[in-house]
């Protein structure tokens, strides 16, 4: 059986326009009632990486979130809530408010779920990971509706459907996932098993204004004018790849997504409905397209230090807030303030740094970029 992906052109966040696009897309893949039983307790899961205005393309746009909830309401669903555990997990609701998402929840009378508490769950079917720390909010849902964002990501190349589910892991456990699965391949496998465990029933990707370059927080907004909708997160992400001219097999969550039976990505396994993909392709979308050849060697400190892309602070932008240091999941920290004073930007201990890029992801000032060492360009990253 093929995986259906609806590709709906939508060139503005005008609420009515977005609503019509979401409605059309869901109808194309079979309609809500075929996907989510009316009796289900439904969690709407946006991307709430960190506090950012909706037009920055960091988080799911409120218009898309609004359209999805409105459609469920209008079709008679009434047992619904929303939530996410952001990258900065200290106060999820405050971040939701800063992104305009909480206001949508309030408009429809939806409560924010419990995303700062959770429990250890066993997943014997896991192909790579058999245990997760999942938030109570995600555990109490019968159906998760994944309302994700189209963005680049330094570790996994893209963040779309599969990666967005990391927000169902509560609090600082997300950082621990990076420490435990430091390289893109193992992190991707973990995400695929997490997605298999959570098994959202529907994925809706906000790609009206996407993020390219130094994502997922510090990149550049780019008009992609599209919404993608599917019940298969691998197929959804694969169509995202088509739109940005990226080989999907280079994305670990797609490669292992197929291997572990989460979904499909090959052309012959996809049924693309709605708009013509060729009309929406942005071939020069700024995303990492080179094949990385470090393989398992990248877990050796010397290989990482000499060859792999590394986070670098742009001192002129740094306000010495220390968010990056707090976000670093490495025991003993791979970055620090000299003499414990905040007179200068933090310094890196590159020999300890596992290249998870959490610091780059969480810097509120977009002061951290990622650079490839000259030797890495020669030996590891192949154009």
Interface contacts to ligand SF4, rule CB under 6 A = 311, 313, 318-324, 327-328, 330, 334-335, 345-346, 348, 353-359, 363, 365, 367-368
Is the CB of 68 or the CB of 358 nearer to ligand SF4?
Answer: 358
Q: Round to whole Å and give the CA distance between 302 and 316.
A: 29
Query: Taking the complex as a whole, how short is the minimal distance between the CB of residue 179 and ligand SF4, in angstroms?
Result: 8
Query: Taking the complex as a whole, how short is the minimal distance between the CB of residue 188 and ligand SF4, in angstroms?
Result: 16
Q: Round to whole Å and give the CA distance between 322 and 345.
A: 8
Is the CB of 65 or the CB of 348 nearer to ligand SF4?
Answer: 348
Is the CB of 132 or the CB of 357 nearer to ligand SF4?
Answer: 357
Phi, psi (5° rounding) for residue 97?
A: -70, -45
Token code pair at residue 63: 């218009």
Query: Taking the complex as a whole, how short is the minimal distance between the CB of residue 315 and ligand SF4, in angstroms?
Result: 8
Query: Taking the complex as a whole, how short is the minimal distance between the CB of residue 154 and ligand SF4, in angstroms?
Result: 9
Is the CB of 138 or the CB of 359 nearer to ligand SF4?
Answer: 359
Characterise 82 by phi-psi region: left (phi > 0), alpha (psi -120 to 50), beta (else).
beta
Q: Round to whole Å and give the CA distance between 98 and 108.
A: 18
Q: What angle do CA 248, 249, 251 make, to 5 degrees?
A: 70
Query: Taking the complex as a whole, how short is the minimal distance between the CB of residue 220 and ligand SF4, in angstroms?
Result: 18
Q: Round to whole Å and give the CA distance between 286 and 139.
A: 36
Query: Taking the complex as a whole, how short is the minimal distance between the CB of residue 324 and ligand SF4, in angstroms?
Result: 3
User: In this structure, how many other beta carbons lie within 10 angstroms of the beta carbon of residue 269?
Assistant: 16
Q: Round to whole Å and give the CA distance between 151 and 149.
A: 6
Is the CB of 82 or the CB of 217 nearer to ligand SF4?
Answer: 217
E strand spans, the chain:
3-9, 42-46, 80-82, 111-112, 118-122, 131-135, 143-153, 157-159, 202-212, 220-230, 270-274, 291-292, 310-313, 335-336, 347-348, 368-371, 381-382
Query: Taking the complex as a whole, how short is the minimal distance between the CB of residue 177 and ligand SF4, in angstroms?
Result: 12
Is the CB of 96 or the CB of 324 nearer to ligand SF4?
Answer: 324
Bridge partner list, 5: 230, 272
Is the CB of 148 or the CB of 353 nearer to ligand SF4?
Answer: 353
Q: Tell me the HSE value of 245 on the side-chain side, using a 13 A CA sphere.
A: 12
SS3 category, 135: strand
Is the CB of 9 or the CB of 320 nearer to ligand SF4?
Answer: 320
For residue 70, give every residue at least 6 positions away whose Cβ sits within 8 Å of its Cβ, in sequence order, or none. 19, 108
Contact 357, 367 (CB under 8 A): no
**Closest by Cα among 196, 203, 199 to 228:** 203
Is the CB of 273 or the CB of 323 nearer to ligand SF4?
Answer: 323
Query: Taking the complex as a whole, how short is the minimal distance between the CB of residue 194 and ligand SF4, in angstroms?
Result: 19
Query: Taking the complex as a whole, how short is the minimal distance between the CB of residue 246 and ligand SF4, in angstroms?
Result: 22
Contact 130, 122 (CB under 8 A): yes
Is the CB of 270 or the CB of 313 nearer to ligand SF4?
Answer: 313
Query: Taking the complex as a whole, how short is the minimal distance between the CB of residue 217 and ligand SF4, in angstroms?
Result: 10
């Amino acid at each position: 059986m093929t995986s259906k992906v609806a590709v709906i052109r939508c060139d503005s966040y005008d609420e009515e326009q977005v609503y019509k696009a979401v409605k059309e897309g869901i109808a194309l893949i079979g309609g809500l009632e075929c996907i989510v039983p009316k009796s289900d307790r439904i969690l709407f899961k946006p991307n709430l990486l960190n506090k950012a205005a909706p037009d920055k393309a960091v988080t799911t746009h409120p218009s898309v979130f609004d359209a999805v909830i409105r459609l469920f309401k209008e079709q008679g669903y009434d047992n619904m809530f929303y939530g996410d555990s952001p990258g900065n997990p200290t106060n999820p609701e405050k971040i939701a408010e800063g992104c305009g998402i909480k206001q949508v929840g309030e408009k429809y009378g939806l409560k924010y779920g419990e995303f700062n508490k959770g429990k250890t769950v066993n997943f014997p079917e896991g192909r790579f990971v058999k245990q997760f720390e999942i938030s109570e909010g995600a555990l109490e849902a019968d159906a998760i509706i994944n309302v994700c964002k189209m963005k680049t990501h330094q570790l996994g190349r893209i963040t779309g459907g599969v990666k967005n589910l990391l927000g169902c892991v509560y609090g600082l456990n997300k950082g621990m996932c990076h420490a435990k699965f430091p390289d893109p391949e193992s992190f991707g496998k973990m995400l695929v098993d997490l997605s298999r465990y959570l098994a959202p029933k529907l994925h809706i990707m906000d790609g009206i204004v996407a993020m390219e370059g130094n994502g997922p927080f510090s990149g550049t907004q780019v008009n992609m004018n599209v919404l993608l909708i599917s019940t298969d997160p691998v197929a959804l992400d694969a169509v995202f790849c088509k739109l940005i001219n990226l080989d999907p097999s280079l994305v670990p969550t797609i490669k292992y997504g197929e291997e572990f039976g989460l979904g499909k990505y090959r052309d012959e396994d996809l049924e693309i409905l709605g708009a013509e993909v060729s009309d929406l392709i942005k071939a020069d979308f700024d995303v990492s397209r080179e094949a990385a050849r470090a393989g398992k060697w990248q877990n050796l400190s010397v290989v990482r230090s000499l060859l792999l892309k590394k986070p670098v602070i742009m001192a002129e932008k740094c306000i010495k807030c220390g968010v990056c240091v707090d976000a670093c999941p490495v025991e003993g920290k791979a970055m620090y303030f000299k003499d414990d004073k905040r007179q200068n930007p933090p310094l890196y201990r590159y020999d300890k740094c596992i290249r998870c890029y959490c610091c780059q992801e969480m810097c509120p000032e977009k002061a951290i970029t990622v650079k490839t060492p000259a030797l890495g360009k020669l030996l590891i990253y192949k154009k």
